[in-house]
């Protein structure tokens, strides 16, 4: 309310400058919530606040890491363009492992097989949902962000699906209009600006892989096998994979609150990198 009054009094308030790096307060909050995430690593991770914030005003964090190419291939433009990989965790706030595992995988980006890729990493797309007690799937306004993307079938189907198929399950409310939520709007903007070749979206607890869009589908990452879950109006898989033509891999971890073993985390990561390299890395970079 106060913000509204201030906006009337001052025609164009200067936009707050985003701070350069992730705040220790943000990292402490996340570290306290997630057993597997250390505040120290979070602070040193290179995460930076975007200009967008969640409904409750929390910074939406991103980390971009350009490819570390050997000098000879870096000089060949165009043909050696490194694949751009966008990884998103925590769209659903109650899937805690989907955030923690992204932090774990960020520790592997400097390995030789991952360092040639151009990464955009968003470990926590729905901070408000994660930080509620108890954590909730939806954002602070009760919208399922993974049903709020601006897919061509949204107006026709999203509300009908929610009423008819989910019987108005509040956990799957798609919003009143597509892309009504700041978190979804921000994710769509990041996709438009970054132009990923692949989007990797992490969820739990179905213990499978799902895939939408062009490209050779992966059969398994670690113990997770491909099992298509279907296409939903307003989902990221539908938006990216079907509408924008960007392959979307959905990794459904087996538990929402219990992390896969270190060995399973590694197996999923290795198979994922192998699949990305086989399908998206140009021959002159391999
Ligand atoms: Zn989910």
| Average confidence (pLDDT) per 10 residues, the chain, 286 residues | 46 56 91 96 95 96 91 52 95 98 97 95 98 98 98 95 96 97 98 97 97 93 93 95 95 98 98 96 72
Centre of ligand 1 from the C-alpha of residue 76, in Å: 40
* 122 φ/ψ angles, rounded to the nearest 5 degrees: -120, 95
What is the Cα 7 distance to its own chain's centre? 32
- Tell me the CA–centroid distance for residue 95 and ligand 1, in Å: 6
Residue 59 sits at φ, ψ, to 5 deg, of: -65, 140
Dist. CA 249–CA 224, nearest whole Å: 12
Beta-strand pair 208-212/224-226: parallel
How remote is the CA of residue 5 from the centroid of ligand 1, in Å? 37
Beta bridge partners of 63: 121
What is the enclosing helix (H) or strand (E) of 6? Answer: helix 2-9
Q: Read off the tokens for 85.
A: 């990989």
244 three-class SS:
coil
| CA-to-CA dists, residue 129 to 52, 93, 96, 194, angstroms | 16, 4, 10, 25
d(CA 203, ligand 1 centre) in Å: 4
pLDDT at 282: 79
Residue 147 has a pLDDT of 97
Encoded tokens for 129: 């949902």
155 is written with which tokens?
């107006």
pLDDT score of 8: 46
CB atoms under 10 Å from CB of 245, counted, come to 10
Q: Closest Cα to residue 149, out of 242, 233, 251, 43? A: 233
CA 139, CA 132: separation in Å to the nearest integer? 9
What distance in angstroms lies between residue 156's CA and the mean position of ligand 1's atoms? 23
HSE-up (13 A, CA, CB side) for residue 85? 24
Q: Give the separation between CA 281 and CA 77, rounded to whole angstroms.
A: 14
Measured in Å, residue 263 CA sits from the centre of ligand 1 at 23
Cβ–Cβ < 8 Å for 53, 115:
no
Residues 6+ apart with CB under 8 A from 7: 13
Alpha-carbon distances of 96 from 143, 270, 278, rounded to whole Å: 18, 22, 30
Neighbours of ion ligand 1 (CB under 5 A): 92, 95, 203
Domains of the chain are 49-285 (3.40.630.10)
CA–centroid distance, 84 to ligand 1, in Å, is: 23
Asked if 227 contacts 152 with a C-beta cutoff of 8 angstroms, the reply is no
CA of 168 to the centre of ligand 1 (A): 18
d(CA 184, ligand 1 centre) in Å: 14
3-state helix, strand, coil in the chain (%, to 5): 40, 15, 45
């Amino acid at each position: 309310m106060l913000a509204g009054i201030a906006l009337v009094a001052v025609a164009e308030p200067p936009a707050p400058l985003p701070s350069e790096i992730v705040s220790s307060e943000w990292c402490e909050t996340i570290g306290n919530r997630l057993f597997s995430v250390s505040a120290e690593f979070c602070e040193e991770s290179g995460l930076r606040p975007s200009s967008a914030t969640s409904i409750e005003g929390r910074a939406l964090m991103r980390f971009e890491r350009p490819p570390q190419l050997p000098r000879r291939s870096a000089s060949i433009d165009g043909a050696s363009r490194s694949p751009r990989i966008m990884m998103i965790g925590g769209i659903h706030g109650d899937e805690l492992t989907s955030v923690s595992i992204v932090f774990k995988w960020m520790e592997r980006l400097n390995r030789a097989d991952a360092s040639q890729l151009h990464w955009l990493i968003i470990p926590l797309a729905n901070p408000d949902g994660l930080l509620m007690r108890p954590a909730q799937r939806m954002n602070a306004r009760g919208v399922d962000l993974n049903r709020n993307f601006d897919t061509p079938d949204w107006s026709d189907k999203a509300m009908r699906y929610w009423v008819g198929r989910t019987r108005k399950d509040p956990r799957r409310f798609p919003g009143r209009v597509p892309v009504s939520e700041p978190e979804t709007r921000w994710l769509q903007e990041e996709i438009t600006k970054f132009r990923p070749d692949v989007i990797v979206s992490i969820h739990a607890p179905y213990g499978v892989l799902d895939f939408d869009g062009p490209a050779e589908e992966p059969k398994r990452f670690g113990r997770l096998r491909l099992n298509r879950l279907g296409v939903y109006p307003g989902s990221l898989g539908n938006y990216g994979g079907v509408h924008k033509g960007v392959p979307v891999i959905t990794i459904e971890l087996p538990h929402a609150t219990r992390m896969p073993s270190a060995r399973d985390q590694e197996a999923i990561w290795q198979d994922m990198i192998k699949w990305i390299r086989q399908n998206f890395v140009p021959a002159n970079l391999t």
